[in-house]
Amino acid sequence: MSELTGARVLVTGADGFIGSHLVERLVEEGADVCAFCIYNSNGSLGWLDELEPKRRESLDIRMGDIRDERFVRDSAAGADVVFHLAALIAIPYSYAAPASFVDTNVRGTLNVLEAVRAHGARRMVNTSTSEVYGTPDVVPIVESHPLKGQSPYSATKIAADKMCEAFALSFDTPVITLRPFNTFGPRQSARAVIPTILGQLMTGATEVRLGNVEPRRDFTYVSDTVDGFIRSATAPLEAGETIQLGSGAAVSVADLFRMCCEVTGSDAVVATDEQRVRPERSEVMVLQSDPSRAKALLGWEPTVSLTEGLRMVAKWLEPRLDPARASRYQR
């Protein structure tokens, strides 16, 4: 029996990429899941719409907005564990709409912290990002590395992380922060680099339109990231703890492109698309984790290789390909 069996668990951002996979895993663990999804007029539950009907019907679904303090507080009532994943995450969009990122990522996190403080959940897991480090001084990156906001998105995530730190130190709020590096897998947004590459290759493109191919990233398959979240819910951790989830290896976008070509059997080439290139001083050139604390504190380490994960994403994408969308740039 899982330690989460019978536990009341709130997941914000449950309708998103990682959130939907986390919800599925929590149901498998026997948790009583409250799935917080963004309100919309057509009643879409995002990726939760893809769940098997019986699994979806077992959820307590709350459609609202993370920016609404009262709604968040009401949703957190009775929760033993709160996983906070709701966020705006698109870096290019953060250049165009930074105020939206402040409202959602900073104010939204504050609302969750206040709700946890009010209702007394035993653990809150805040979702950070490796982007908070900016281009690092040294690699691999350890949790104590200085933070640098090289995009409006990363700046708001730094603020959210620091708000969690402040609540842990000021009020003993039982919040810990997980800092995933580049999670990939089925359901990831088409604007992310792996779906961008695979989507174009699998629709027959001979030239794949990309931005800067020199940056290096540390990729972790979504099931491994979710396993880190599950372990963090019950691990004996001090309030305010921060733990990275990454493979400890980094590959360039150029190398990633070549791996995707091998997976799909393509001989395409890269064509630079200037609208996909970040502002020079905003580009983060390398993100490579040191996963030793995750192993020591959570007993966690990734199990799915990058090549294996790319094959699984390609298989998932195949019946969902949209040639027009695959070639269109999306912020």
DSSP for 253-289, please give it.
HHHHHHHHHHHHT---EEEE-GGGSPPGGG---B--B
For residues 157 and 209, membership in a common domain is answered with no
Report pLDDT for 326: 65
Strands 216-217 and 251-252, sheet pairing? antiparallel
Flag residues of the chain having pLDDT under 70: 324-331
Residues in the chain: 331
In tens, the pLDDT along 6-36 reads 999 999 999 999 999 999 999 999 999 999 9
Residue 197: exposure state from Cβ atoms within 10 A (0-12, 13-18, ≥19): buried
Contact 83, 233 (CB under 8 A): yes
**In contact, 197 and 210? CB cutoff 8 Å:** yes
Do residue 135 and residue 199 come from a single domain?
no
The reported pLDDT for the residue numbered 276 is 77
298 lies in a domain? no
Residue 83 contacts residue 230 (beta carbons within 8 Å):
no
171/57 same-domain check: yes
Do 38 and 155 reside in the same domain of the chain? yes
Residue 238 and residue 254 in one domain: no
Kindly state whether residues 175 and 274 are assigned to the same domain.
no
Provide the CATH number for the domain around residue 279.
3.90.25.10
Is residue 140 reached through a cis peptide bond, with omega within 30 degrees of 0 on the bond before it? yes
CATH number for 143: 3.40.50.720
Backbone angles phi, psi at 215, to 5 degrees: -55, 145
User: In the prediction, which pLDDT does 277 show?
Assistant: 75
Residue 159 is assigned to a structural domain of this protein: yes
Backbone angles phi, psi at 185, to 5 degrees: 150, -175
Range of the domain at 265: 193-217+249-288+303-326
Structural domain total, the chain: 2
The reply to whether 1 falls in a domain is: no
